[in-house]
Chains A and B, each alone.
Chain A
Amino acid sequence: MRVEQIAVFLENKSGRLAEITAILADNDINIRALSVADTADFGILRLIVNDVEKAKSILQDGGFTVGKTDVLAVEVVDKTGGLAKVLKCLHSAGINVEYMYAFVNKSGENAVLIFRFEKMDEAIEVLSKDGFTLLSGEQICAL
């Protein structure tokens, strides 16, 4: 139940993020979720999109450095309490979160938490065992 995510290296120059979203829009690629981690010097943009391969290749053609990683998407009903429950489950299993971000689906009822772990397989096992809903890439795009 892994979801593919693309990551893009960004220098902190203004307008780069807008450029990326424009390139993706021009090529009919939908961004389902997005997060930016940045420091004073550079940033890392992470995206969940409906067509990973196409997005990667058009961004590479556009001169960007693009990587591809697997992440997990956990669906929870109530945003705040939901997150706490997931984190508690992971913590008691001794699984560290490398990074995470979230988005709310169109109806606003459910939230989707995107996680990256060092130990992906263990995380899948622990979360499934505790009854959390893991979404596939297709399911996210269908939301």
Chain B
Amino acid sequence: MYWEQKKECLPRPQLEQLQLERLKNTLRRVGTTVPFYRNTFSKLKVDAGKVKSLDDLRRLPFTTKQDLRENYPYGLFAIPLRDVVRIHSSSGTTGMATVVGYSRKDIVNWSNLVARILCGAGVTADDMIQIAFGYGLFTGGFGLHYGAERLGASVIPISAGNTKRQIQIMQDFKTTALVCTPSYALKMADVMMDMGINPNGLSLRFGLFGAEPWSEAMRIEINERLGIRATDNYGLSEIMGPGVAGECQECNGLHVNEDHFLIEILDPETLEPVKPGEVGELIITTLTKEAFPVIRYRTRDLTRLLPEPCPCGRTFVRMHRMMGRSDDMLIIKGVNVFPTQIEGILFDIEGTEPHYRLIVERENNEDKLTVMVEVVESIFFDAMKKQRAFMDMIKKRMASELGIGVDVKLVEERTLERFDGKGDRVIDKREL
């Protein structure tokens, strides 16, 4: 199902031509109307008018979260405030908020792009969508709301919180599609159990989840417990909010709305492009935003591109669900290692959410990575030979997928502390 088949299936050469035109247009605008870009362009001797190909993007400066903060509140707006029809803001933890604005046309585009994501996930005008994202300065609630209305679906703008009431309404109003964070979906499944409500008795069919990192294991659990098909969607308020990318019904990677966003995957250390399919930091340049265009925004989110064409027919490139934050990246023996890669390998082997910890040490001037793995029953063998063969198999897979040798240490169940944040699973003992 396509919302705009022609655009979503545009042949790559035409798409790239369109991207180049829109990029030039955006650069011309920010270079004249936004002092921050005017200054950095002139400092780096970038002539926006001389951009001839998409590769020229690499000569352009980056925009960071810090740049957004330093230009609080309206410093990066590219149109007069009187033409701004909406403001959103992402709350910083220490009052370091960032502010973004939308023109009337931005809102139209935004609604349309979210409608694409919903449609791609299988939602239609016949659906009843319950939006359990917060409404307010956060872009999630309003972003999905406008997109769902654009699609013609019926919207229940319930907002976040009050789980029992969410479930009551889901039952009474016959909700068919749920929009929230993946962890909240699991919480709903728990509360349904407490309330004695069988999810299979509800009308729920779709779940569109985003706004936080999750895993394939979580998707499987959500699908099984709620009896739905869960899809992932991605966005961030600095760029637009939801609508940047979303999964089609193949449920295998998120199509990026490339006619509106130009993406790069870069090595977070060198800021050079990674090889196709390798993990790196996602960098986004907006191509059509009027009020708040952003050039080469460093999202700090890690992902990799899935270069193979998608069976759904869309030509927009797919990216893997977010694999962590570039701040969590470890450099071991000069190789970039992401804790989520290791988690992925263990998940593959164990079939369930693995409990692990990574220890990084330096012995005789050489880095050493030890992966501590809790031995659960599915990976415990009564014969020593088999247990050892299993350990060797983990080592081999890690070595081939990470590109460095690792040590594996098996530990008893429930001996590693449970962490919520991925970063806490790493103990770096190197004194550099």
User: Known contacts A65-B380, A98-B383, A116-B382; is A9 also within 8 Å of B409 by CB?
Assistant: no
**Chain A residues with CB under 8 A of B412:** 9-11, 63-65
Which chain A residues numbered 51 to 67 have a C-beta less than 8 Å away from chain B?
63-67
Q: Which of B380, B388, B414 contacts A63 (CB 8 A)?
A: B414
Sort chain A's interface into a size bin.
20 to 34
**Chain B residues with CB under 8 A of A98:** 383, 385
Asked if B376 is at the interface (CB within 8 A of a chain A CB), the reply is yes
Bound-state Cα–Cα, A55 to B413, Å: 17
- Min Cβ gap A52→B in Å is 13
**Chain A residues with CB under 8 A of B383:** 44, 98-99, 116
Bound-state Cα–Cα, A11 to B416, Å: 13
Asked if B384 is at the interface (CB within 8 A of a chain A CB), the reply is yes
Stretch with Cβ within 8 A of B (4 or more), from A34-42, A80-88, A135-143: A34-42
Q: What is the total number of residues of chain B having a CB less than 8 Å from a CB of chain A?
A: 18
**Chain B residues with CB under 8 A of A42:** 375, 387, 410
**Chain A residues with CB under 8 A of B411:** 11
Bound-state Cα–Cα, A69 to B382, Å: 7
User: Known contacts A41-B410, A63-B413, A64-B413; is A9 also within 8 Å of B380 by CB?
Assistant: yes
Bound-state Cα–Cα, A9 to B410, Å: 9
**Chain B residues with CB under 8 A of A64:** 412-413
Asked if B377 is at the interface (CB within 8 A of a chain A CB), the reply is yes
- Chain B proximity mask over A1-29: 1 for CB below 8 Å, otherwise 0: 00001010111000000000000000000
- Chain A proximity mask over B236-262: 1 for CB below 8 Å, otherwise 0: 000000000000000000000000000
Closest 5 CB pairs of A and B: A7-B382, A37-B384, A69-B382, A9-B375, A98-B383
Q: Known A-B contacts: A9-B412, A11-B412. Give 4 more (CB < 8 A).
A: A11-B411, A63-B414, A65-B376, A67-B377
